[in-house]
Amino acid sequence: MEIKDLKNEEVKAWLKGWIDLCTPDEVVICDGSQEQYDKVANGLVKAGVFIKLNDDKKPNSYAARSDVKDVARVESRTFICSEKQEDAGPTNNWMAPSEMRRILCNAESGLYKGCMKGRTMYVIPFSMGPVSSPISKYGIELTDSGYVVCNMMIMTRVSLAVLEAIDKGREFVKCVHSVGSPLEPGQADTCWPCNPDNRYITHFPETREILSFGSGYGGNALLGKKCFALRIATVQARDEGWLAEHMLILKLTSPEGEVKYVAAAFPSACGKTNLAMMEPTLPGWKVETIGDDIAWMKFDAEGQLRAINPEAGFFGVAPGTSMKSNPNAMRTCNMGNAVFTNVALTEDGDVYWEGMDDVPDTCVDWLRRPWKKDSGVKAAHPNSRFTVPARQCPVIAAEWEDPQGVPISAFLFGGRRASVVPLVNEALSWEHGVFLGSTTASEKTAAADGKVGELRFDPFAMLPFCGYNMGDYFAHWLKIGTKKGAKLPRIYYVNWFRKAPDGHWLWPGFGDNSRVLKWIFDRCDGKAEARETPIGNLPTVQAIDFSGLDMSEEDKELLLSVDAEGWKAVVPEIKKHYEKFGSKLPAELVKQLEALEKRLNA
């Protein structure tokens, strides 16, 4: 397909405007074919962006190393450009749309002016969700990065059928991405073109547009993911009465063969991919994957909340992934058709990262330097990632692409909390569950720029991803709970990361998280035991299946205990957190906080 074959006037005018502004040497429309993927990938190999891996180790796979300044999402350079500042709210950077457009798109001085000189502009028509599913949404991403093309082809459904549907008038999200690094004639390219001093990840919720400049990494550049499927989709979801969330979706089957679906929101690099494809250590239980990062959920005619995974691949954290911690992610990678970014390379043409089962004596680290075992230096970047097709996952559920979605029985919220927060806690009501979501806090990880380990409130694990005022988002969640005839999922708060005073992990995590899933599964059927505490319903020590675990009674008690003094100290923190939202904070949440305080002091 070529530009001259496009029929839709809106698409044609939009595309022409961007070609005129960015002045690429060439324009290529992506059709999603393997042939085109191979062609782009081979071009990247010639340019030194991709390194072909050993086909015996990782078939049809590549490694890429980014610029040292372009290694993660940049929250400080992410903007919500709503007409009114109030609609971006206190948790987002805001700039007026006209001002942002002046900076980026001005025909004389805008950053996009001439930014694709010497490069190819790729036109990527993609679907979030199965093509032609009623829940799916379409987008077109323009990009001057071949790396982005290959990753988008793994992470989304790229297809000319999408372009044809848009041509016929189907709504689409307009996404424009440039690495912001034009080439003069004869100028040699770098292996990771970018413009780290001029990065802008911008969203225009009213016009459903995304403009991204200067970064080639992950969520900054693969615009279907956080920019569309979360920041723009939260706005669509608010307007249309559904939920777009930073959640994994898993299918849980009991030894009796009963099935429940669970969705869980944890902040970036806090265990979604791991939980989504976990191998339960509890005999007879089975976990299968629907999605590992994003869930779109709507009520059906029967009032059942149904979820789809809008993505087609996993963009997973590499370090810590091993045959021991997440064998199914390893198997998915070993099937090939993968891109590895900022990992280390072994002499036999394979990849290595920290936490992998076998440590090589030597390798080449992500900075292309020779690396030696026990050198004390990290071989892979802490936010290094694998991009792999979801269909390759050995435990992908047969219904993962069901256009109707899967029925959700329970929501989990959680984060990294070394103290205070117990292993699992059941909300007393929907409203209390929304309170728990709104007060989710976690220690920062390497998934975003900034200081690792700092505790911050990350409501619903959506702090960097909500495309509108977070106070209104809380209200939207409360409103979902008032829907007539709705079958509402139960809500739980979990913490796999609690430590003992001497610093050791109290909980083994990973496959043993199935023990918590079992309790939740049984609670949903009104079966498992719980005790009412000031913070919610906690399992008794007997109610969690600890069988076969080598854990002291003391640690078990500690994991399931309520640290009343610790919680009393959290209350003023929550008050401060809530103050940010001013009049946008729903009264119901103030009521919930007061009730918690009262229960703690009773």
Is residue 273 close enough to count as binding ligand GTP by CB under 6 A? yes
Stretch that binds Mn ion, among 287-295, 303-311, 328-336, 430-438 (CB under 5 A): 287-295
CA distance 222 to 203: 14
What's the residue count for the chain? Answer: 602
Q: Which does 218 bind (CB under 5 to 8 A by kind): Mn ion, ligand GTP, ligand SPV, none?
A: ligand SPV
Site for ligand GTP in 291-350 (CB under 6 A): 292-293, 316-317, 319-320, 325
Q: How far apart are CA 279 and CA 283, in angstroms?
A: 10
Compute how many residues bind Mn ion; rule: CB under 5 A: 2
- The residue among 74 and 363 lying less far from ligand SPV, judged by its C-beta, is 74
Q: Report helix, strand or coil for 76.
A: helix
Best CA proximity match to 366, nearest among 383, 397, 345: 345
Query: Do residues 264 and 245 touch, judged by C-beta distance below 8 A?
Result: no
Residue 514 CB, nearest approach to ligand GTP (Å): 11
| R_g over Cα of the chain | 24
Q: Which residues are at the interface with ligand SPV (CB under 6 A)?
A: 73, 218-219, 225-226, 268, 293, 315, 447
- Quick one: 362 or 505, whose CB is closer to ligand GTP? 505
Site for ligand GTP in 510-529 (CB under 6 A): 510, 513
* Per-position DSSP letters for 316-347, written without gaps between them: EE-TT--TTT-HHHHHHHHT---EEES-EE-T
Q: Which is nearer to ligand GTP, 41 or 462 (CB)?
A: 462
Q: Tell whether residue 179 is a contact of ligand GTP (CB under 6 A).
A: no
Residue of minimal Cβ distance to Mn ion: 293
CA distance 141 to 137: 13
505 binds, among ligand SPV, ligand GTP, Mn ion, none (CB under 5 to 8 A by kind): ligand GTP
DSSP secondary-structure letter at 396?
Answer: B
The distance of closest approach from Cβ of residue 293 to ligand SPV in the complex, given in angstroms and rounded to an integer, is 5
Nearest to 172 by CA among 14, 322, 19: 14
Return the residue of 45, 207, 505, 569 that touches ligand GTP, per CB under 6 A.
505
Q: Does 292 bind Mn ion (CB under 5 A)?
A: no
Number of residues that bind ligand GTP (CB under 6 A): 22
Q: Decide if residue 271 touches ligand GTP (CB under 6 A).
A: yes
Of 416 and 432, which has the nearer Cβ to ligand GTP?
Answer: 416
Q: Which residue has the tokens 């599913």?
A: 133
CB of 325 to ligand GTP, least distance (A): 5
Q: Judged by CB under 5 A, does residue 401 bind Mn ion? A: no
Closest CA to 495 of 568, 581, 422: 422
Distance in angstroms (rounded) separating the CA atoms of residues 340 and 357: 17
Which one of Mn ion, ligand SPV, ligand GTP, none is in contact with 137 (Cβ closer than 5 to 8 A by kind)? none
CA-based angle 272:276:282, to the nearest 5?
Answer: 120
Element (DSSP H or E) covering residue 51: strand 51-52
Count other C-beta atoms under 10 Å from residue 81's C-beta. 27
Residue 419 in the binding site for ligand GTP (CB under 6 A): no
- Report CA 342 to chain centroid distance, whole Å: 18
C-beta separation of 361 from 372 below 8 A: yes
Tokens of 36: 């085109």
| Residue 266 makes contact with ligand GTP by CB under 6 A | yes
Least distance in Å: CB of 258 to ligand SPV? Answer: 31
By CB under 5 A, name the one of 167, 288, 293, 365 that touches Mn ion. 293
Active site residues: 270
- Which residue has tokens 């949903």? 524
Interface residue list for ligand GTP (CB under 6 A): 266, 268-274, 292-293, 316-317, 319-320, 325, 447, 496-497, 505, 509-510, 513
